[in-house]
Amino acid sequence: MARNTTINSSPLPSRQSGYSIVELMIASVIGLVVLSGAVTVFTSNKKSQELSSGMARIQESGRAALDILSNDIRLAGYQGCTDGAISPVVIATNTPTITFPTGSLWGAEIGNSSWTPSRHPDLTNAGSDPLPGSDVVYVQHASGRTTILASSMASASDSSINLARNPDQIVAGDLMMISNCHGADIFRSTAVSQPTTSGVAVTFGTQANTQANLSRAYTVSGDATTTPMRVMRFESNAYFVGESGRTDASGNSIKSLFVLDTSTDPIDNPTELIEGVEMLQVLYGEQQLNGSVRYLPADDTSLNIEQVVSVQIGLLVGSIDQVTTGKDNRTYLVGNQEVGPIGSSAPLKHATDRQLRAAFNSTIRLRNRSPNIGS
């Protein structure tokens, strides 16, 4: 009998497994929570880094600005060992106004298209005006990087001097001062030789001076009584805060600290020193009969600039980027002035943006002032 060998070829149903919709939804929610946490941590770290970077930049800019201003103001009126009350003999042409001791330190308060006192004649070519509400301080002095003569002048009619070295990198056209304890001359170099074993020859010809001779014959030792002598660059700088002409990522104007060097012939345009400086406030410390010092702004008509022995400077410095989460509604003390947000009762205002800001204040003692109180 034949056997039925027919085989059922239909496959047996297999049991399939996988994630259910509920499980997928739970996994998606968990993934979103983890991703949200990672984004939050990243954003927080990024914001913290921006704040730290902004504050570090403000601190660096503030310290640098204070150093520049302090170093220059501290030397106001310096002319070697010559008494600051003695005015130097000026033979250079096209020079700034040089009237020691009254001209070695000057300041003004800036209003809307106004200066108080009136704009200094040396600063008519200052380019764009300083910002209203800020101050200008103007300082004159010989450089602290001094040298001596390699050889004495044969006579006052000599049209050149021979320097022992050239630490200030003097070149033709620079305004210079030579002094001993009895007097000083200011002239403009017309030629400067390369250093040799015998020194550096500096010529002062009539193409940049009213005459090709100084008021006296300066010697290596100073003079017959061996009083010291010095040769230096003459510096004449006005500092103010103005518009940089640039904007930040949000389109806000960037302000900077500028310097105008009035010793050059012709006078150059102002040089931008440090960006982010929004305000400069200056007070002048006038010594009183009882030895105390009162601090007055430049527009105070009772201020006697010849009796000023110290200067207080205040700076408001802001970050360039918008790094805070909220608007800056703080009030800062800059010098003796409160600087508050727009709409506040503070006399001076800063923008209500998301920039970081900090105030920097310092008092500078003038090294070369010996006021004659009561004279």
Q: Which two tokens stand for residue 346?
A: 């503070």
Q: Which residues share a beta bridge with 116?
A: 109
Q: Which residue has the tokens 């943006």?
A: 353
Handedness of CA 344, 348, 353, 354 (dihedral sign): negative
18-24-30-31 Cα dihedral, nearest 10 degrees:
90
Which pLDDT score is estimated for 227?
58
Low-confidence ranges of the chain (pLDDT < 70): 1-19, 38-51, 126-128, 222-227, 370-375
User: Rounded to whole angstroms, how far apart are CA atoms 266 and 259?
Assistant: 15
**List of residues 6+ apart from 145 with CB closer than 8 A:** 167, 168, 232, 233
pLDDT in tens, 4-55: 555 555 555 555 566 678 777 777 778 777 777 766 665 665 566 666 777 8
Reference 372, options 317, 304, 321; nearest CA is 304
Three-state DSSP class for residue 159: coil
Three-state DSSP class for residue 250: coil
Write down the domain spans for the chain: 52-81+98-139+234-365, 149-233
pTM reported for the whole predicted model: 0.85
Three-state DSSP class for residue 162: strand
CA distances from 55 to 5, 64, 66, 359 (A): 91, 14, 16, 12
pLDDT in tens, 129-143: 799 999 999 999 999
User: Rounded to whole angstroms, how far apart are CA atoms 358 and 330?
Assistant: 10
